[in-house]
Amino acid sequence: MPIESNHICKMQIANCIYKQIIGSLIVLHVNKTLIRIFCCSRYHDAGRLSDQQMALLQYQRENLHFLSQESLVSIIPHQHLVLQILRLQECLSKYERTVDRSTPQVDLAHLLAARDQELQTLSAEMNQVQTELKLAQSLIAERDSEIQNVQMSNNQYAEENDRLRAILGEWSTRAVKLERALEAERISNLELQRKVSTLRNQLQTPTEATE
């Protein structure tokens, strides 16, 4: 039972780490999409958003909705993901069309640099998570190896105990046989002594009669 409980705990830890990685990958995907929006903003026509930009904005909204749903059903509280959602929604509001259908004046270079920095940070965090995951997997493999070694040792001890038990049984059988043989020998010696005593008495009787 303890081994099964440890295995269940390991599976739960691996599941939590897996969900954290999935959350990081989702954030990474959304930030890449936002960078593509920033890059495509250079190709606007006469101060208006192009069809490609509008399609990307719609795609970004769908990603935000999916990311919101993922953060709600996740086991681990992804506060960092919620902050990313709020930041992305703020950026989307800046890029939506105004009443006069003109493009808002935004420092695209600054935003792109900021998003690139955030992307690098997220990549570093994802690498850190992957490193921790590999470490956890190595620890789990090490513990599994130790458990297998203990099980092999237990099996060897069990086999050795069975062998010793068989030897003890054989010795017990031999001891019983020896006890029976000794008892038979003792009875035989008593009978022999009785016969010797009888013969001695018989030899002494004629001698006394002669005298």
Share of the chain above pLDDT 70, in %: 45
Sequence-distant contacts of 57-60: CB under 8 A, at least 24 apart: 57/92, 57/95, 57/96, 59/33, 60/30, 60/33, 60/34, 60/88, 60/92
Assess whether pLDDT exceeds 90 at residue 83.
Answer: no
Number of domains in the chain: 1
Query: For residue 117, what are its two tokens?
Result: 């920095």
**pLDDT band at residue 114, thresholds of 50, 70 and 90?**
confident
Residue 180 within a domain: no
pLDDT of 6:
47
Assess whether pLDDT exceeds 60 at residue 203.
Answer: yes
Residue 170 within a domain: no
In this structure, which amino acid lies at residue 135? L
Span of 16-25, 119-128, 184-193 with lowest mean pLDDT: 16-25
Residue 37 within a domain: yes
Reported as a single tens digit per residue, the pLDDT across 155-187 is: 999 999 999 999 999 999 999 999 999 999 999
Q: pTM of the predicted model, to two decimals?
A: 0.35
Residue 86 within a domain: yes
Q: Give the number of other Cβ atoms within 10 Å of residue 81's Cβ.
A: 20
Residue 67 within a domain: yes
User: Which residues sit opposite 48 in a β-bridge?
Assistant: 45
Residue 177 within a domain: no
Q: DSSP letters of the chain?
A: -HHHHHHHHHHHHHHHHHHHHHHHHHHHHHHHHHHHHHHHGGG-BTTB--HHHHHHHHHHHHHHHHHHHHHHH-SS--HHHHHHHHHHHHHHHHHS--TT-------HHHHHHHHHHHHHHHHHHHHHHHHHHHHHHHHHHHHHHHHHHHHHHHHHHHHHHHHHHHHHHHHHHHHHHHHHHHHHHHHHHHHHHHHHHHHHHHHHHHHHHH-
Residue 198 within a domain: no
In this structure, which amino acid lies at residue 137? Q
CA 200 to chain CA mean position, Å: 90
Query: Taking residues 92-104, what's their average pLDDT?
Result: 51
Taking the CA of residue 115 as centre, how many other CA atoms within 13 Å lie in the half-sphere pointing to its CB? 23
Q: Which residue has the higher pLDDT, 99 or 82?
A: 82
Query: For residue 200, what are its two tokens?
Result: 């001695």
Question: Which residue range(s) make up the domain with 140?
Answer: 2-155
Q: Is 44 left (phi over 0), alpha (psi -120 to 50) or beta?
A: beta
pLDDT of 158:
93
Residue 87 within a domain: yes
